Amino acid sequence: MTRFKDREKALTLRKQGQSYSQIKKILGVGKGTLSVWLKNYPLSKQRIRELRDWSEQRIEKFRATMREKRQGRLDSIYTKQKKILLPLTNREVFLIGLGLYWGEGTKCTMSSLSVSNTNPAIIKFYIYWLNKCLDFPKDKMIAYLHLYNDMDARKEIFYWSKILNIPESQFPCPYIKKTSSKRINYKGTFGHGTCNLRASGVPLTEKIFMNLKILADKYGRERL
């Protein structure tokens, strides 16, 4: 019965224009058997040409060529824009940091500044901004990690400590979420939990909040 069903399915697939290789991959039936079952169902010359032109090897080669072209295009744009963008003035860096904090920073307390993200590059820029633009000492920054219960907390602290160049002593005990990290889709993220980098100080916080208010008053009320 199983053999009969496989033969019927093979016939259906053949009538749809599938090759022996394609049918074999679907049904797991050898090409010798298929040649017996399908000997009276040859493909048209046009279909054979289509299969040859769009074989998996040709498709993969085409995709590789397109990837190379895209990467070459991106590399060219990167080189051109880098010359235009850099170097940044201190004022420009400060404004970029304000934009980052306006979008990603915590605004529920007037006693500390904090930004949370899974991307180390964003946290590293935030550290640079705090230190270089606001004169906040790096050894006063505190890094709070939010991890999942199936993560190795020691390894993650070591990872973030090394990549941010902040001593492990500045990492308090991490917050552990009960959810398993395997249930989380890490597409587009880095899979090392979330780092919340905090800088405490009322004068510092008030200064940044007032700068954000200036931007909001100026541009948040403009009519489009």
Residue 115 and residue 9: Cα distance in Å, rounded?
A: 57
- pTM (global) more than 0.85: no
Q: Is 68 exposed, middle or buried (0-12, 13-18, 19+ CB in 10 A)?
A: exposed
Give the torsion through C-alpha atoms of 170, 172, 175, 176, to 10 deg. 100
Q: What was the pLDDT predicted at 213?
A: 95
pLDDT of the residue at 92: 97
What does DSSP say about strands 194-200 and 175-177: parallel, antiparallel, or unpaired? unpaired
pLDDT, residue 89, reads 96
| pLDDT of amino acid 170 | 98
Break the chain into its structural domains and give their ranges: 2-54, 90-219
pLDDT in tens, the chain (224 residues): 667 788 888 888 888 888 788 888 888 888 888 888 888 888 787 877 767 766 667 777 778 889 999 999 999 999 999 999 999 999 999 999 999 999 999 999 999 999 999 999 999 999 999 999 999 999 999 999 999 988 999 999 999 999 999 999 999 999 998 876 565 555 445 689 999 999 999 999 999 999 999 999 998 876 65
pLDDT at 188: 47
